[in-house]
Amino acid sequence: MNATRTIAITTGIAATGIAAALAYARATRPPVITARVPDPAKPVELQRYIGRWYEIARHENRFERGMEAVTADYSLLGPDRIEVVNGGRKPGTGARSAKVARGKVVDAAINAKLKLSFFGPFYLGDYWVLDRADDYRWAIVGEPSGRYLWILARQPHPPAGEVEALLNRVATLGYDRHRLRMTRQDR
């Protein structure tokens, strides 16, 4: 077999694999939970946003399916670049798993819209801080397709009244709060 034919076959196999992975990702996306995603409500000061966040609730998705004790640790890599380490306990085994993403701010005017990549340079996902507390004790995060939503807090067990207020805020933003899965955090 000549080199040109080998390259063509290898390229075809790689393209087929990529197409299959993309088709799988598309087929396993969660359903839309709001058709009209709002723009972020407030600007974000990245220096105040960095640090540890605890996931309070999420719209279940394939990459976190069944995970508990989910956290997200943000750090600055530069004035408009961040790193995120998302971790949690896997279902069944209880083993801790973590994924690292790198991202950048895409709206320098308010810093509330970012692009993150957990899978190298081939896929950048939108990450929008839709709302946040003035003191950065909680944040509601989504993205423009309306398929993903997270409620984050600085403490693993915010007061019940605050959690209820956040679920109501999610509903005010146009999301079905009853489709969120509450995340159990370690005591």
Cβ atoms within 10 Å of 167's Cβ, excluding its own? 18
pLDDT-derived band at 9 (thresholds 50, 70, 90) equals low
Whether 152 is in a domain gets the answer: yes
Tokens of 33: 């939970």
Answer yes or no: is pLDDT of 55 > 80. yes
Please tell me which residue, 116 or 119, carries the higher pLDDT value. Answer: 116
Q: Is the domain of 26 the same as that of 75?
A: no
Q: Is the domain of 103 the same as that of 163?
A: yes
Least confident of 5-9, 75-79, 155-159: 5-9
pLDDT at 3: 67
Residue-range definition of the domain harbouring residue 145: 46-182
- Strands (DSSP E) along the chain, which ranges? 51-59, 68-78, 81-89, 96-105, 113-117, 125-132, 138-142, 149-153, 180-182
Q: Is the domain of 21 the same as that of 111?
A: no
Task: Look at residue 177 and give its three-state secondary structure.
Answer: helix
pLDDT at 88: 96
Whether 95 is in a domain gets the answer: yes
Whether 173 is in a domain gets the answer: yes
Burial 55-80 (b: 16+ CB within 10 A, else e): bbbbbebeebeebebbbbebeeeeee
Whether 135 is in a domain gets the answer: yes
Q: Is the domain of 52 the same as that of 21?
A: no
Q: Is the domain of 72 the same as that of 148?
A: yes
In whole angstroms, give the CA distance from residue 116 to residue 103.
4
183 residue type, one letter:
T
pLDDT-derived band at 31 (thresholds 50, 70, 90) equals confident
* pTM tops 0.85, yes or no: no
Q: Is the domain of 141 the same as that of 174?
A: yes
Q: How many domains does the chain have?
A: 2
Q: Is the domain of 133 the same as that of 75?
A: yes
